[in-house]
Amino acid sequence: MGQNSILIVEDEHTLRRLLEYRLSKQYDVRTASNGEEALARIEERAPDMIISDIMMPKMDGFALQNAVQSKKETSAIPFIFLTAKADEQSRTKGLRTGVDDYITKPFDIEQLLKRVDRLLERTKQFKSQLDARISQDFSQRLIPKNLPNVDDYRILFRNAPKEDGGGDLFDWIEVGDGTYLFTIGDVMGKGLQAKFYAFSFFGYVRSTIHAMLPTTTSPAKLMARVNQALIDDSTMEETFASLLLIKWEPASNTITYVNAGHCRPVIIGPDSSSVVEHSDLILGLDHETDFKDTVIELKENMSFVAYTDGLSEQVLSGGKMVGEQGILDHASRVAGKDDPIDELLTSILSSSGTPEFADDILVFWLQRTGLNWFAPFANAG
């Protein structure tokens, strides 16, 4: 958390030094002795707050405030007027649009500090509310509203983004006749910045897939291209992401998948369950990363379950994390249920003794039902 920066604009030397001395104990303080100088300081770097005198040579406080107000980049900076003019007229003039407080000289420095503190706190709150709204909007856009519908298969999906969580993403497209490509990813970092990167990264993944589909549907080849694009683009150099690309061909009951440093999915069968072993390096680190496709045949009643680290890193009541083995155990137990994801989440939460997950969670559950022979009985019942 950086220190708040304050610009003090005051022509009287002693007062300027006094304010600088007192405020710099808590804030990053810069000073100017008139409006013109102040504008130059603001140009160098916009402060979090401006405290300005009104009567000054060259450019007075009103003119400074007008200039600050008229520029989009600076109009939101909290502005406090300090003035010796205690008369009502000036006060009214001072309390105009964009002036947040008005303090009359001589003033009590403690009083001023309190007001500064309160105003900065209020600005911070306002900003965090705005961030939460933007973040909510990003989160919603990172997740599609529907899922493919294919006979003999059941596809379930659940996600719960946190306001201050990172950037989980999920997407799917039909890439050809009855073939689907699922994307599950997690962009490193937290908060709005991670969400923003996730959003840009999402665009990358989509456009790369679209551009390459005529040539290949190999998840490994697509992954290598996404990685290359991520590394070549300097605007994305702070973006590191784990990603699963899953090609699903229901006609042949196969999944071809590639894993770039993402939590390893699990296969839950009627008789046994296992972790999908192979996985490659996370995206954005090394342009020479070698990605390899893994083919999985889905037998009847088998499920392929992918998730993000919010699930496996949930801390259990004993202090340990759920981990891969934990996911495997919990998922095996709930596999036959009507809503296995719901049961899985409930089951993990009850072992962790908390009402909700600490981080974003995302679960994707693909199950080959193959229970057609049973259907007549079900209908008869």
Q: Which of 205, 280, 345, 347 binds another protein (CB under 8 A)?
A: 280
Name the nearest CA neighbour of 6 among 126, 129, 96, 115. Answer: 115
Write down the least CB distance from residue 237 to another protein, Å.
6
How far apart are CB 323 and another protein at their closest, in Å?
A: 8
Q: Choose the stretch contacting another protein; rule: CB under 8 A; options: 37-45, 83-91, 115-123, 238-246.
A: 238-246
Give the number of other CB atoms < 10 A from CB of residue 226: 27
Stretches 21-29, 69-77, 150-158, 234-242: which one binds another protein (CB under 8 A)?
234-242
Q: Which of 7, 109, 115, 22 is nearest to 68 (CA)?
A: 7
Residue type, 204: Y
Residue whose CB is less far from another protein, 148 or 191 = 191
Question: Quick one: CA dihedral 330, 334, 339, 342, positive or negative?
Answer: negative
The stretch near another protein (CB under 8 A) out of 79-87, 258-266, 269-277, 295-303 is 258-266
CB closer to another protein out of 320 and 337: 320
Q: Does 360 bind another protein (CB under 8 A)?
A: no
- Residue linked to tokens 């409930």: 346
The residue among 137 and 286 lying less far from another protein, judged by its C-beta, is 286
Number of residues that bind another protein (CB under 8 A): 25
| Smallest distance from another protein to CB 322, Å | 12
Kindly identify the residues of this chain, within the stretch 155-174, that bind another protein according to CB under 8 A. 166
Please report how close the Cβ of residue 192 comes to another protein at its closest, in angstroms.
Answer: 12
361 close to 166: Cβ distance less than 8 angstroms: no
Nearest alpha-carbon partner for 359 in 75, 158, 121, 161: 161
Please state the length of the chain.
381
Contact letters for another protein, residues 180-209 (x by CB under 8 A): ------x-xxxx--x---------------
Q: Is the dihedral angle over the CA atoms 23, 26, 32, 37 positive or is it negative?
A: negative
**Contact of 365 with 184, CB cutoff 8 Å:** no
CA gap 159, 308 in Å, rounded: 10
- List contacts with another protein (CB under 8 A): 166, 186, 188-191, 194, 237-238, 240, 242, 261, 263-264, 279-282, 284-286, 289, 309, 321, 323
